[in-house]
């Protein structure tokens, strides 16, 4: 084997070896950004990329431990973006590299103001909505422990490091008394609304009158040292004995605890005495409101064994209804409507009302008692008139139907819509026909402010068309009725009108002309348009333009179109040339009109054929060589 190389082959090998370094640099797609500039160059590829062929693989989380930890904890924005699969492979969706040193490798699809904060695992609610990002995302809010785990050195540019505790941004108004879980008591944006707080979870459960006691009665404001604001004391409050909060009105006269005679519902009356008398063992156990009545209210003397009448409420209580209910089957027994738990509310229900002379039905079921039984209080009237609706309700029709009853048209279920049907309307003085059937009631029956009260008008003295409709003809037909020409189906349908009964009978071509071609519309100040029917022109020139431009005018009269034309067609079928200065004789009778009448002139932009003057000499048409 000959190992010697010729000169050309040797030069080619040298060039290939010299270009190997440059070729190696071509493996990089481009320079890295400033953030990764220390990793630039072909010797650092494996710092970010896994070696090997096939699909590209990244090692982003090898360096970005802060993001790796948040992915592991399922915390922050990145878990919502990565999804399933290798997290490293998802980074390039938002972070691109090899685009130059000035390229910012962080891509935001929306502006900061449009960012959906729910994706970060912390929805913005209440007062947080509308805050600028920098109010929360700034280095001052990042705890010292969290700073160590953030790779980015410029903390002004990172959104990492914050936690969800309120104290990260807000001052602890309770000075550490209640821990860091503010959300147990407060809602976002409503600091003073503490409806979330449940006192039963504390060591002192609120019962009885304590439930309505204002917080500040037990929790006092304490002064704070330095420049801090005063704060409210919530812990370290004694509550084992009543005397811890309440003053002893008995001045230590009783050794027994307060609960021996009193409870936390009310201090008075005491439920125990030195005799420990149990009223439940008598013929009249004290129930409801009676349990709080002072003994001397019923026992007038010191002899507690003296009998006290108690069979009827009236034995002790005055009949507040003044005997109105004495005729009831129970003779007005109070227990039928009231209980010892309280005089109000009454136990008299709608079901009980059904057994009265007036059962409640429909809308009456939802009416409050005092609407029918006024006035509220001791003078309430329970025996009321109810035979007619008008006994309780004002007549909204202002007496228009004196012979009718409300229930003829209305029900107790609702006042509207009325039961007055089309069939019943057709029994009135104005049956609804044709187009009137589709008209809404309120279009004809409108509200009026006239005496005695504002009401909807249902009775009309004028039932003619003009009683509702404005006369578009402006009394041109004051001696006629609308229905002489129109019908109730359509206003424009005037098939009842007979033009032959007018001064201008329609014949010939006039029969097919639309009405408004002759009866022109004249604008009126009322907003309507009035077609001129009376005094409409009957002469031809009243409607038609003089196409001859005054050729046949005389000093005394206008031209009479009918001498040459008729109403069937415009062509001069009636024209008699014998009545002119040039009667047609001989061969002239067969000559077309335009062969002689050729004198055309332009008038007002139109070419007009002039019949006068037309030569009557032979030479005028046939030339000078023709002898007369």
Residues 618, 628: Cα–Cα separation, whole Å: 6
Mean of pLDDT values over 305-333: 87
pLDDT confidence tier of residue 5, bands split at 50, 70 and 90: very low
Kindly report the number of other CB atoms within 10 A of residue 111's CB atom.
7
Q: What's the residue count for the chain?
A: 628
pLDDT confidence tier of residue 393, bands split at 50, 70 and 90: very high
Please tell me the predicted confidence (pLDDT) of residue 553.
83
Please tell me the predicted confidence (pLDDT) of residue 261.
65
Please tell me the predicted confidence (pLDDT) of residue 23.
44
Q: Which of 9-13, 54-58, 527-531 has the lowest mean pLDDT?
A: 9-13
For residue 606, the cross-strand partners are: 603
Q: Which of 26-30, 117-121, 471-475, 554-558 has the lowest mean pLDDT?
A: 554-558
Q: Which of 12-21, 243-252, 567-576, 603-612 has the lowest mean pLDDT?
A: 12-21
Mean of pLDDT values over 137-143: 91
Domain extents for the chain? 26-168, 179-245, 312-363, 385-463, 475-538
Q: Are 332 and 326 in contact (CB under 8 A)?
A: yes
For tokens 């990042």, the residue is 142
For tokens 């329609």, the residue is 506
pLDDT confidence tier of residue 277, bands split at 50, 70 and 90: low
Please tell me the predicted confidence (pLDDT) of residue 275.
40
Please tell me the predicted confidence (pLDDT) of residue 542.
85
Residues 6, 556: Cα–Cα separation, whole Å: 130
Q: Tell me the pTM.
A: 0.39
Mean of pLDDT values over 223-237: 84
Q: Is the pLDDT of residue 409 over 90?
A: yes
Q: How far is CA 225 from the centre of its chain?
A: 53
Mean of pLDDT values over 379-386: 90
- Please tell me which residue, 55 or 484, carries the higher pLDDT value: 484
What is the overall mean pLDDT for the chain?
84
- Please tell me which residue, 109 or 303, carries the higher pLDDT value: 109
Q: Which of 213-217, 228-232, 265-269 has the lowest mean pLDDT?
A: 265-269
Please give the DSSP secondary-structure letter assigned to residue 60: H
Please enumerate in sequence order all residues whose Cβ is within 8 A of that of 22, keeping only pairs 6 or more positions apart, or say none.
none
Mean of pLDDT values over 72-79: 89
Please tell me the predicted confidence (pLDDT) of residue 361.
93
Phi first, then psi: give them for residue 98, nearest 5 degrees: 65, 35
Kindly tell me the number of DSSP H helices and DSSP E strands found in the chain.
17, 8
pLDDT confidence tier of residue 187, bands split at 50, 70 and 90: confident
Q: Is the pLDDT of residue 450 over 90?
A: no
For residue 455, the cross-strand partners are: 448
Q: What does the buried/exposed string (b/e) look like for 437-456 if buried means 16 or more CB atoms within 10 Å of the residue's CB?
A: eeeeeeeeeeeeeeeeeebe
Please tell me the predicted confidence (pLDDT) of residue 195.
85
Peptide bond into 395 cis (omega under 30): no
Please tell me the predicted confidence (pLDDT) of residue 514.
86
DSSP strand pairing (599-603 vs 529-531): unpaired
Mean of pLDDT values over 459-474: 88
The first and second tokens of residue 626, run together, are 């023709």
**Measured CA angle at 448 (ends 447, 450), to 5 deg:** 155
Phi first, then psi: give them for residue 596, nearest 5 degrees: -105, -40
Q: Is the pLDDT of residue 24 over 50?
A: no
Please tell me the predicted confidence (pLDDT) of residue 431.
95
Q: Is the pLDDT of residue 381 over 80?
A: yes
Q: What is the DSSP code string of 530-570?
A: EE--TT---SGGGTS--TTTTTT--SS----GGGT--SS-S
Give the C-alpha distances (Å, rounded to integers) separating 560 from 511, 566, 600.
21, 11, 22
Residues 530, 522: Cα–Cα separation, whole Å: 5
Q: What number of CA atoms fall less than 13 Å from residue 422's CA on the CB side?
A: 8
Please enumerate in sequence order all residues whose Cβ is within 8 A of that of 198, keeping only pairs 6 or more positions apart, or say none.
none
Q: Is the pLDDT of residue 398 over 70?
A: yes
User: pLDDT exceeding 90 applies to what percent of the chain?
Assistant: 26
The first and second tokens of residue 253, run together, are 């006269």
Decide: residue 561, CB within 10 A, 0-12 exposed, 13-18 middle, 19+ buried.
Answer: buried
Residues 105, 508: Cα–Cα separation, whole Å: 90
Q: Is the pLDDT of residue 55 over 80?
A: no
Q: How far is CA 56 from the centre of its chain?
A: 54
End-to-end CA distance of the chain: 135
- The alpha-carbon radius of gyration of the chain (Å, integer) is 54
At 357-370, the pLDDT tens digits run 899 999 999 998 88
Please tell me the predicted confidence (pLDDT) of residue 15.
47
Q: Which of 2-11, 151-160, 333-342, 448-457 has the lowest mean pLDDT?
A: 2-11
Q: What number of CA atoms fall less than 13 Å from residue 316's CA on the CB side?
A: 15
pLDDT confidence tier of residue 473, bands split at 50, 70 and 90: confident
DSSP-based helix, strand, coil % in the chain, nearest 5: 30, 5, 65
Kindly report the number of other CB atoms within 10 A of residue 76's CB atom.
21
């Amino acid at each position: 084997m000959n190992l010697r190389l010729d000169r050309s082959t040797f030069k080619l090998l040298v060039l290939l070896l010299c270009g190997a370094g440059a070729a190696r640099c071509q493996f990089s797609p481009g320079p890295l950004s400033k953030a990764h500039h220390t990793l630039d160059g072909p010797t650092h590829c494996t710092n970010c990329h896994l070696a090997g062929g096939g699909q590209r693989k990244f090692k982003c989380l090898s360096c970005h431990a802060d993001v790796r930890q948040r992915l592991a904890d399922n915390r922050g924005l990145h878990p919502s973006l990565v999804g399933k699969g290798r997290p490293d492979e998802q980074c390039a969706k938002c972070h691109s590299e090899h685009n130059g040193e000035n390229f910012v490798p962080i891509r935001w699809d929306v502006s900061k103001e449009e960012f959906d904060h729910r994706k970060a695992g912390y929805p913005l609610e209440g007062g947080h909505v509308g805050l600028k990002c920098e109010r929360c995302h700034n280095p001052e809010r990042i705890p010292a422990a969290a700073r160590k785990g953030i790779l980015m050195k410029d903390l002004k540019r990172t959104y990492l490091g914050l936690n969800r505790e309120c104290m990260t941004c807000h001052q602890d108004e309770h000075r550490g008394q209640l821990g860091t879980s503010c959300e147990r008591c407060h809602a976002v944006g409503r600091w003073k609304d503490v409806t979330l707080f449940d006192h039963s979870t504390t060591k002192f459960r609120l019962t009885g009158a304590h439930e309505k006691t204002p917080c500040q009665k037990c929790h006092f404001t304490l002064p704070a040292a330095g420049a801090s604001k005063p704060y409210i004391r919530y812990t370290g409050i004694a509550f084992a004995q009543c005397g811890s909060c309440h003053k002893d009105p008995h001045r230590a006269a009783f050794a027994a605890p307060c609960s021996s005679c009193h409870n936390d519902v009310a201090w008075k009356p005491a439920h125990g005495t030195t005799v420990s008398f149990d009223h439940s063992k008598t013929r009249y156990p004290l129930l409801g409101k009676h349990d709080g009545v002072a003994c001397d209210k019923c026992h007038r003397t010191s002899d507690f064994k003296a009998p006290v009448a108690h069979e009827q409420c009236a034995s002790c209580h005055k009949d507040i209804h003044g005997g109105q209910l004495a005729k009831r089957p129970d003779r007005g027994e109070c227990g039928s409507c009231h209980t010892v738990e309280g005089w109000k509310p009454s136990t008299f229900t709608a079901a009980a009302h059904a057994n009265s002379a007036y059962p409640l039905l429909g809308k009456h079921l939802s009416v409050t008692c005092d609407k029918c039984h006024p006035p509220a209080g001791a003078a309430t009237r329970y025996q009321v008139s109810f035979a007619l609706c008008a006994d309780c309700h004002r007549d909204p029709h202002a007496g228009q139907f004196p012979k009718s009853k409300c229930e003829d048209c209305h029900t107790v279920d609702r006042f509207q819509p009325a039961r007055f049907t089309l069939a019943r309307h057709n029994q009135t003085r104005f049956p609804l026909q044709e187009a009137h059937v589709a008209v809404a009631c309120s279009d004809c029956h409108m509200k009026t402010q006239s005496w005695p009260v504002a009401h909807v008008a249902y009775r009309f003295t004028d039932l003619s068309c003009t009683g509702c409709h404005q006369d578009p003809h402006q009394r041109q037909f004051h001696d006629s009725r609308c229905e002489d020409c129109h019908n109730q189906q359509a206003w424009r349908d005037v098939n009842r009108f007979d033009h032959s009964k007018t001064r201008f009978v329609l014949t010939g071509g006039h029969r097919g002309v639309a009405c408004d071609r002759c009866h022109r519309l004249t604008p009126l100040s009322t907003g309507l348009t009035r077609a001129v029917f009376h005094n409409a022109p009957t002469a031809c020139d009243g409607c038609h333009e003089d196409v001859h431009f005054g050729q046949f005018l005389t000093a005394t009269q206008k031209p009479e179109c009918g001498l040459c034309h008729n109403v069937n067609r415009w062509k001069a079928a009636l024209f008699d040339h014998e009545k002119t200065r040039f009667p047609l004789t001989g061969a002239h009778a067969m000559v077309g009109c335009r062969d002689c009448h050729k004198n055309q002139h332009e008038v007002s932009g139109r070419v007009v054929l002039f019949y006068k003057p037309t030569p009557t000499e032979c030479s005028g048409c046939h030339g000078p060589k023709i002898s007369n």
